[in-house]
Structure 1
């Protein structure tokens, strides 16, 4: 927990506010600034509320500057107190977002390197994009993650041979296109054809996810006639989670 950093700031504020107060810690003002700066450097912004992240970065940088000083004038005491009070306010909300608690298990994936990327992207999806209301980015990231997951599954030795002979596999002059060139649409159709994904699950992956790349380019987004609002973002993530829930049951 980070209550100790809050306590350090309270002790610093008291030392700066009351000239008669002598801290029993044995630390002077410069010591407090050094310790606090070093401790908040260890904190991860992904555990902060979205609205606190900007303020935290600014406060942290100011403490780094104060840490580098060799002499502190009483003139800047009020500024230091203000920074410490702001930091305390931010730290009271630290941990309100716990990505580990809200994350999910991707053990059904077989490619370790791809699994690490998917875990990273999913963590960004649930801790940054969704809380920040970045709806377009949520749709794009959800589609990207789904594409990576289906690529992993269809290249898994359990399913790869079936995938390559599926009539739904994209072809160029009767020759199957290399799977790493397949689009999400192809991956979904082949996954359905070889029964990796059931029809009812396919229906949950609506056009928002199938055509997620349209949102990358503004002109394509306009032509697609799909608005990218909170509703589309939640449907996209819901479709992704539904696929993950299904795959985690059928792939050991």
Structure 2
């Protein structure tokens, strides 16, 4: 959970910063695309815009090529009425109810939203826009009037959460980085330096094996910088799978003696397992925590992204949010594997 709340963040930004965020968000709602930097510079002055935005975080607003975009945090900060937050909370409650009625629910459609929330097309589109920026979806498709959102993979967690509003607020602020740069030119150096910290894969004692994973990790950084989101998620899955295979194989004798079961079958061979199974075993062995296991959902089906037919059939869409979640998930899991190895 982030050390700062959304309310605190709202209180910390200036009136002119809120005005800039509101303009970016209103442009997006009107045009279904992010505002060009030169439009915002023309309206408020280039130097003034840069000066105000640079003191914010790239976790709120970011420059992407020739446009300014907002994250979910930025969109909610741009909303003076708190309507966006209410829509999100109501949507998550709705996901919970739909799951309780039908545990096999896969998609939520615009028709569902308009009927069950009694919303007009404009209001349902507004809800969709907030949901698309959030982690409460697993891809979306359609056009302005007819669309559908894939339900998040952790929908089955919702019935067990006592306070869904607090849950939503925590998810919104997850991975907030106050130092993440707003501007593209600053992001390369920011990402490149801390990600090579202190032999990240120190739990691997085979240098050749470690070199392969390290090179993949460096390529992930390049993908983030070049905004190759799909490649980023695929490589994150590959790095995580290779890391788990290594540490689980190293502890294979203990695992086999523990008679751990997956799908009612006792584990017999580590090398033949998929990523979901590897993550499950690592959790059962206490190598990674439950929260970390939940974080890994974005990359569990990463192999399907390699196959166009599967990607189309399962409507898998990879955005910046998914790439960032995948990247941060791997960092957290690798940190926990190092801690386990050092105990």
TM superposition score normalised by structure 1: 0.55
Paired position in structure 1 for 2:229: 135
Say which SS state the counterpart of residue 148 (structure 1) adopts. Answer: helix
Cα distance in structure 1, aligned partners of 2:290 and 2:266 = 27
Would the aligned equivalents of 2:255 and 2:285 in 1 still touch at CA under 8 Å?
A: yes
1:188 Cα deviation after fit: 0.8
Would the aligned equivalents of 2:256 and 2:267 in 1 still touch at CA under 8 Å?
A: yes
Gap runs ≥5 in structure 2: 1-64, 66-184
Paired position in structure 2 for 1:227: 317
Say which SS state the counterpart of residue 131 (structure 1) adopts. Answer: helix
Q: How does 1:61-100 map to 2 (within 5 A)?
A: 97=189, 99=192
Paired position in structure 1 for 2:196: 103
Would the aligned equivalents of 1:154 and 1:160 in 2 still touch at CA under 8 Å?
A: yes
Cα distance in structure 2, aligned partners of 1:101 and 1:233 = 18
Deviations 1:47-90 (A, max 9, x none): xxxx9xxxxxxxxxxxxxxxxxxxxxxxxxxxxxxxxxxxxxxx
Paired position in structure 2 for 1:201: 292
1:163 aligned to 2:247?
Answer: no
Alpha-carbon distance change, 199 to 175 in structure 1, aligned in 2, over 3 angstroms? closer
Cα distance in structure 2, aligned partners of 1:224 and 1:164 = 34
Paired position in structure 2 for 1:178: 269
Would the aligned equivalents of 2:261 and 2:267 in 1 still touch at CA under 8 Å?
A: no
Say which SS state the counterpart of residue 108 (structure 1) adopts. Answer: coil
1:111 Cα deviation after fit: 2.9
Cα distance in structure 2, aligned partners of 1:154 and 1:169 = 15
Q: How does 1:148-159 map to 2 (within 5 A)?
A: 148-156=242-250, 159=251
Deviations 1:151-201 (A, max 9, x none): 011011xx2213234433589xx7855322211111111111121112121
Cα distance in structure 2, aligned partners of 1:134 and 1:177 = 37
Would the aligned equivalents of 1:139 and 1:232 in 2 still touch at CA under 8 Å?
A: yes
Paired position in structure 2 for 1:13: none
Cα distance in structure 2, aligned partners of 1:175 and 1:204 = 25
1:114 aligned to 2:209?
Answer: yes
1:203 Cα deviation after fit: 0.9
Alpha-carbon distance change, 217 to 129 in structure 1, aligned in 2, over 3 angstroms? same
Aligned length: 155
Greater shift, 130-139 or 222-231, is seen at 222-231
Say which SS state the counterpart of residue 205 (structure 1) adopts. Answer: helix
Cα distance in structure 2, aligned partners of 1:164 and 1:244 = 23
1:110 Cα deviation after fit: 3.0
Deviations 1:10-69 (A, max 9, x none): xxxxxxxxxxxxxxxxxxxxxxxxxxxxxxxxxxxxxxxxx9xxxxxxxxxxxxxxxxxx
Say which SS state the counterpart of residue 130 (structure 1) adopts. Answer: helix
TM superposition score normalised by structure 2: 0.41
Larger radius of gyration: 1
Would the aligned equivalents of 1:168 and 1:193 in 2 still touch at CA under 8 Å?
A: no
Q: How does 1:28-47 map to 2 (within 5 A)?
A: none
Would the aligned equivalents of 1:129 and 1:138 in 2 still touch at CA under 8 Å?
A: yes
